[in-house]
Amino acid sequence: MERPRIGIVDCRSGNLRSVSKAVAHEGGEPEILSGVDEDWSGLILPGVGAFGHVMRNIEPIRRELVDYIESGKPYLGICLGLQILFESSEEDPEPGLGIFKGRVTRVEARKVPHIGWNSLDILRDSRILAGVRPGEYFYFVHSYAARPADDEVLVATCNYDGDILASVVERENVAACQFHPEKSGRAGLRVIRNFVEISRGMTR
């Protein structure tokens, strides 16, 4: 069976090696680049740190990234790779990609950042969460969270100290998770496997 080429965008802010190893483990052929290859079967953008820092780092490839997403090919955002899909963040005046409507705001909890394991409340069926059971735990590290303006893109949430946080968003070819699947054990690898299988469909 052909291994789909999965591009991992190096925006100088992410767990590239861990993501790459997870993709290879689940049957993909990972390729780390600072640009975008339109021939990739799927694209992953992992990011940690600050919203503005990531947006400035990807500014040279912003148009290529949006074109790739708008072409209908699979995209998976991880952590900041989710947040930059939205229009803006109160963390930085730098605009997001605007793929989804909504804003990123600071987590409203007594203890920030949100670090550690949290269970998911799955709101609807989703290709990226296929096989993931409600209540499974995933690993989070973040101080800001997306607030989607369109509830239809919201797939799963988690409750952190009373703040209901967008944990997975998905629409058509675009999916993203606030947690780190590459650090989330078997459940996280299931998410990566689902993305590899979605991308495999692009190679047929």
Active site residues: 79, 180, 182
DSSP state of 41: S
**At a CB cut-off of 8 Å and minimum separation 6, what does 198 contact?**
42, 74, 127, 128
- Look at residue 46 and give its three-state secondary structure: strand
Angle between helices 16-25 and 185-200 (to 10 degrees): 70
CA distance 110 to 124: 29
- Exposure string over 84-112, b if 16+ CB within 10 A, otherwise e: bbbebbebbebebbebbebbbeebeeeee
**At a CB cut-off of 8 Å and minimum separation 6, what does 171 contact?**
100, 152, 153
Residue 54, amino acid: V
Give the torsion through C-alpha atoms of 100, 21, 130, 136, to 10 deg.
-90
